[in-house]
Each structure stands twice: as structure tokens, then as C-alpha cells.
Amino acid sequence: EVQLAESGGGLVQPGGSLRLSCAASGFTFSNYWISWVRQAPGKGLEWVANIKHDGSEKYFVDSVKGRFTLSRDNPKNSVYLQMDSLRAEDTAVYYCARDMWPNWYFDLWGRGTLVTVSS
């Protein structure tokens, strides 16, 4: 089955760190860009970052630049979002999504993992 599955969410104090993982199955992972999209409770969707199929390019929304980093391990079919210096406003469900070039739409989504930043 073609799918993405996020893990690693949880409760963290402000200023803390968390690493999210996105595991892919059922398709040739190394051919695709992957994005992270988040959704604060009861709010809309916000694109966070994406990474090229070979990891050579990465892009971030301004609000997480310098705090979040992205990496991928193609042999393990996984992408990792390292989140440092977390703030209350980072509280959200984080989804990973397959990012389809050249029209740049998200055609496959994981179920999401909840990150709560609170003391």
C-alpha cells in the first residue's frame, strides 16, 4: 500500500527539541520531494518545509528558519524534521506529504503527529 506515516510527536516544553519522522512505503521514495505541513488546533493549514528527492535542496517557511532542519535517508525511505527552540505557536498536527513536481501539489498525506509545546 502506498502510504506515509509520521511519528515522534509529543509534549515538549518551550525551548525544547523534537524530531519527527516520516516513513514511506509502497512507492519509490527516492524519486519524490517531501513536504511537511502543519495545522494548529482548530486552524488552517500551513506549509512548513520541503526537501528534494536527493536532499540537495530544502526550503522553509520564514517562521521556522534557523530552528527547524530537514534531512532524509533514502535507503530507509524516511524524512526527518528536527525542531529546535520550540515555541507555543509551533503546537500543531504535523503532516508529511508527497510533493509532486512540476505542478507542486500534495497527492499523498500521512495521518499526522501532534506536537504540543507547553510548560
Question: Would the CA dihedral through 48, 76, 21, 44 be positive or negative?
Answer: positive
Of the two residues 45 and 88, which places its CB atom closer to another protein in the complex? 45
* Cα–Cα distance for residue pair 8/115, rounded to 1 Å: 8
Of the two residues 29 and 95, which places its CB atom closer to another protein in the complex? 95
Provide, rounded to whole angstroms, the least separation between the CB of residue 35 and another protein: 8
Do 106 and 96 contact (CB within 8 A), yes or no?
no
Of the two residues 15 and 104, which places its CB atom closer to another protein in the complex? 104
Provide, rounded to whole angstroms, the least separation between the CB of residue 61 and another protein: 6
Residue ranges in contact with another protein by CB under 8 A: 35, 37, 44-47, 59, 61-62, 95, 100, 103-107, 109-112
- SS in 3 state form for 14-64? CCCCEEEEEEEECCCHHHCEEEEEEECCCCCEEEEEEECCCCCCEEECHHH
Of the two residues 103 and 119, which places its CB atom closer to another protein in the complex? 103
Provide, rounded to whole angstroms, the least separation between the CB of residue 110 and another protein: 7
